[in-house]
Chains A and B, each alone.
Chain A
Amino acid sequence: MHDFTRRSLLQGGTALAAAGALTGPALLDFAKAWAQASPWKAEPGAKLTVMRWKRFVPAEDDAFNAMVAAFKAATGTEMNVFSESLEDVQPKASVAANTGSGIDLAWGPFTLPQLFPTKVLKMNDVADYLGKKYGGWTDAAANTCKQGNDWLGIPPATIGVYMTYRKSALDKAGFKEFPTDFPGFLAMCKALKANNTPAGFPLGHATGDANGWLHWVLWGHDAWTVDKDDKVIINSPETAKALEYCKALSDTFIPGTASWNDSSNNKAYLSGDLYCTNNGISIYVAAKDDPKMKDLADDTYHALYPVGPIGKPTELQLVVPILAFNFTKYPNAAKAFVAFMLEKENYDKWLLGARGYLTHTLNAYDSSPVWAADPKNQVFSQASKRALPASGIGKVGEKAAGALADYIVVDMFANFCTGAKDARTAMSEAERQLKRIYR
């Protein structure tokens, strides 16, 4: 807590109580009761190996492990959970899929289930149960995990990425509020640069941040990689406009963004060199946790992505789906665990542990206590609703996953913004690569 007053203590206390957050024995009792009533009974002697992405916030991992322990005690399932760095999850899951052994459940980056649709356990029943109980799924998350009407995995959360900025820099630049449209945003970045408090967004191969903001710029101009029939339409006047806009923006950036990966903007912001960027809530959380950075934390605010000429939100937010392989020996245990994760008694506490880093994908959790715990978290609660699936308006599938993973859009913008290629060449190269993937 950044400011330990009675008010914050009361707020935190009520929030926890409201969550009905359970700890220790209470959690175990709930888990046992749940296991009795659950439609999926774990097989006797079940053992599950779960590979998850390495936590960004330690408290989230603690909450998750508490949940795993409760599940184990209640159902008798042996749980072996190990973490891999987020970008390593997909290759390792691929190896398991190809060899047919090693992992039962894999939890990782956005379109993981779409990469091996024939190797996963269909989760239609789990999705229906959770959707009915908790107000329905948000669109983007659902689309990411579905193939036709089948659920290839379940999306427990979205990693929300939004504008993170220093209010003092905005004030100095003459902006009372964060701009809500593209021209305003460009004007703000120019003003920030003029005051030597520059913004910076990654143009390198940053899986989350670079894909996030560049797809936002692209889609905001009504430019898309493919249309709804998966025909490649990247080479278009709208894309050219998006490229021009991006170049104007990147001219105002702090130097070096072409080499940035996902952690580079965190480092630059926390060291005080960067005044506006896009990121998960981890920058703010890191500043809150460090007493030396109190001023920075107080000065840090979040804002939604501005809306482009297209007229509606066009954000790309990372869904982190969990999938079970169909060669698992304990499919019921796997389904039971996934359903257990998303039950209110577990989920609220888990979101609190994540401190805003994860956004819910079931509508009922709009009132989850984490969003009230700190007003600055509020922006991130919108992530799942405002997001479009990773394929834009095209079909979600392994082709969209491949296109994203090969950084085609990121390279197109980076080539143009660094001056390595002109607009025509950058677009036609991207088009060629996309045609290859979507053939």
Chain B
Amino acid sequence: MADIALQPRIAKRQIREATTWDQIKTNRNWLGFWFMMPAMGFLIFFLAYPLGLGVWLSLTDAKIGRPGHYIGVENYAWLWDDSIFWLSVFNTLLYTFIASVIKFAVGLYLALLLNENMPFKAILRALVLIPFIVPTVLSALAFWWIFDSQFSIISWSLKHMGLITQNINFLGDSTWARICVIFANIWRGVPFVAITLLAGLQTVQPSLYEAATLDGASRWELFRHITYPLLTPIIAVVMTFSVLFTFTDFQLIWAMTRGGPVNATHLMATLSYQRAIIAGQLGEGAAISSAMIPFLLAAIMVSWFGLQRRKWQQGENND
């Protein structure tokens, strides 16, 4: 029994107060922040900075080839009175609304169909995705030919069948041109909605359907009371994306009509490009594209607040 305290070989570590640095070093949030830095850097450089620069440019009279001076909201004030700008806003809202509604309806219907157990369902699901995968410009060019005022295959076929005598002026008439671009957008966008909703449909438990069927529910009641409520969160997400993509659509319009005829299919994105890059008025073009922000924010807010509600999250009543 040695009372002698043995000298420890390693010096005993001094007990001291934890410094701030110690606290930070072991703080998980600090570490997490540093892990997040690369992704954040990427987002800041490639998303936040161009967005901020765009808004800044809209407050200047910058032109291509020379920097501009700060002029405040003069660009916006001028755009407020510009009928072509308001026409593009109207076109964008019309285009987005009609295309999104129809895409949702057709997409949901397709998803329900594809959810059925049928032969070759894997191949069919892949085929349905093709319009979305084909590069936009290619499909736009194809539609451009299909809807050409002189050479449309549709006009030709109808003439051969004897149903019409003159070519239909698809892309030369304002209303027809709008219908054509909306149709092309729907053709392109339906697969995205359909496949995403299909994925959502697959998560619905079959036992719910069985229980409801045993209780005597009809197909419509099955849809109305089981499928649709459970699908609501997915619908919220997919429609937000769909609306965002449609609102900011550029390629399809540019390749098909360049915004014509007489600016009837000019969206805010295409008008912004024409004013900023082609006509060289960077400030004004930036103002047009910055003017899209309130609309897009509204769409996101609807979706975001909607997703907070339990009903949207879990498909039940909010109680």
Chain A residues proximal to chain B, CB less than 8 Å? 87, 90-91, 94, 97-98, 115-119, 203-205, 254-261, 264, 267-268, 271, 273, 398, 401-403, 405-407, 411, 414-415, 418, 420, 429, 432-433, 436-437
Contact = CB atoms under 8 A, between A and B. Distances in A.
B174 A91 contact: no
A259 B171 contact: yes
Contacts of B280: 94, 115, 398, 401-402, 405
Contacts of A273: 150
B262 A118 contact: no
Given A205-B259, A406-B278, A433-B84, 16 more contacts: A90-B278, A91-B278, A94-B65, A203-B261, A204-B260, A256-B148, A256-B169, A258-B262, A259-B149, A273-B150, A402-B63, A405-B274, A406-B281, A414-B262, A418-B261, A420-B174
B278 A254 contact: no
A405 B81 CA distance: 21
Contacts of A261: 258
A258 B275 contact: no
B82 interface: yes
B259 A256 contact: no
Nearest to A256: B149
Interface string B259-289: 1111110000000001101111100100000
- Place the interface of chain B in its size category: 35 or more
Contacts of B278: 87, 90-91, 405-406
A317 B166 CA distance: 34
B95 to A, nearest CB: 17
Contacts of A203: 261-262
Given A204-B261, A256-B167, A259-B171, A118 B151 contact: no
Q: Which 4 A-B pairs have CB atoms at the shortest separation, nearest pair first?
A: A256-B149, A116-B65, A258-B261, A256-B172
A98 B65 contact: yes
B293 to A, nearest CB: 22
A256 B66 contact: no
A90 B277 CA distance: 8
What's the dominant secondary structure at chain B's contact region? loop
A367 to B, nearest CB: 38
A255 B65 contact: no
B257 interface: yes
A118 B172 contact: no
Contacts of A429: 83-84
B259 to A, nearest CB: 7
Contacts of A98: 64-65
B35 interface: no
B194 interface: no
21 contacts: A87-B278, A94-B280, A97-B64, A115-B65, A119-B65, A204-B172, A255-B166, A255-B167, A256-B148, A256-B167, A256-B169, A258-B173, A259-B260, A264-B150, A398-B280, A405-B274, A405-B278, A420-B174, A420-B264, A429-B83, A436-B78
Contacts of A94: 64-65, 277, 280
Nearest to A426: B262
A271 B65 contact: no
A256 B171 contact: yes
B150 A204 contact: no
B274 A406 contact: yes
Interface in B69-83: 78, 81-83
A143 B274 CA distance: 26
B221 to A, nearest CB: 48
A268 B150 contact: yes
Nearest to B177: A259
Contacts of B262: 203, 258, 411, 414-415, 418, 420
A398 B62 CA distance: 13
A256 B257 CA distance: 12
Contacts of A268: 150
Nearest to A265: B150
A97 B262 CA distance: 31
A169 B261 CA distance: 29
